[in-house]
Amino acid sequence: MAVVSTESLPIKSEPDVVTVRRRVREVTAQLGFGLVDQTKVVTAASELARNTMIYGGGGVMSVETLNGPRTGIRLTFEDNGPGIADVEMALRDGFTTGSGLGLGLGGSKRLVNDFQILSRVGQGTRVTITRWK
Ligand SMILES: Nc1ncnc2c1ncn2[C@@H]1O[C@H](COP(=O)(O)OP(=O)(O)OP(=O)(O)O)[C@@H](O)[C@H]1O
Ligand SMILES: [Mg+2]
């Protein structure tokens, strides 16, 4: 597998989340994902970017395009926020420490082929998702 291109986008504000959504839409379209699959990746990215902004205090998303033998997209969301004390609990539908519905993490996980989360209390959170074409 080769990582063909990589770029990094800041996630500090609501307009940054809009930019993230637009960029993920563009890259998945360029890779030849169908509209439904584009929307799945955009939706997952939107949820994770929002978490990065709200709970992580801001961070970055990196975009990698993958190819050979398969085409895919890998997105990594990183922040240096407070971290998540219990990741398993955070992934459960309905669990929230904020004012959301608690569906973002679990929902994102179901929209992609691979979902990795690494979080350390007091250090931050990194979520990596991959969707294959
Ligand atoms: N980057 C992060 N840093 C710290 N805590 C996080 C981060 N992302 C998620 N969490 C924690 O995990 C919980 C669950 O996240 P999830 O996205 O599933 O739900 P939500 O953001 O609370 O609500 P929704 O996404 O439905 O609006 C959050 O309430 C928060 O406590
Ligand atoms: Mg959320």
* DSSP letter assigned to residue 10: E
* Pocket flag, ligand 1, residue 84 (CB < 6 Å): yes
pLDDT, one tens digit per residue, over 63-106 is 999 998 899 999 999 999 999 999 999 999 999 999 999 999 99
Helices 35-54 and 14-31 cross at an angle (nearest 10°) of 150
Residue 51 has pLDDT above 80, yes or no: yes
Shortest-distance ligand to the CA of residue 109: 1
* 60 vs 10: CA distance, rounded Å: 4
Here the tokens at position 27 are 């890259």
* 70 vs 51: CA distance, rounded Å: 29
Paired strand residues for 127: 77, 117
User: What is the pLDDT of the chain when averaged over all its residues?
Assistant: 97
Atom of ligand 1 nearest to the CA of 102: 19
Separation of 21 CA from ligand 2 center, angstroms?
15
Residue 9 has pLDDT above 80, yes or no: yes
Predicted TM-score (pTM) of this structure: 0.97
What does CATH list as the number for 2-132?
3.30.565.10
Residue 1 has pLDDT above 80, yes or no: no
Backbone dihedral angles phi then psi of residue 74, each to the nearest 5 degrees:
-125, 125
Atom of ligand 1 nearest to the CA of 95: 14
Token pair 């904020």: residue: 98
Question: What is the band of 40 on the pLDDT scale with cuts at 50, 70, 90?
Answer: very high
Residue 114 has pLDDT above 90, yes or no: yes
Atom of ligand 1 nearest to the CA of 93: 18
* DSSP letter assigned to residue 57: S
Q: pLDDT at position 4, please?
A: 84
C-beta of residue 26 within 8 angstroms of C-beta of residue 18:
no
Q: pLDDT at position 3, please?
A: 84
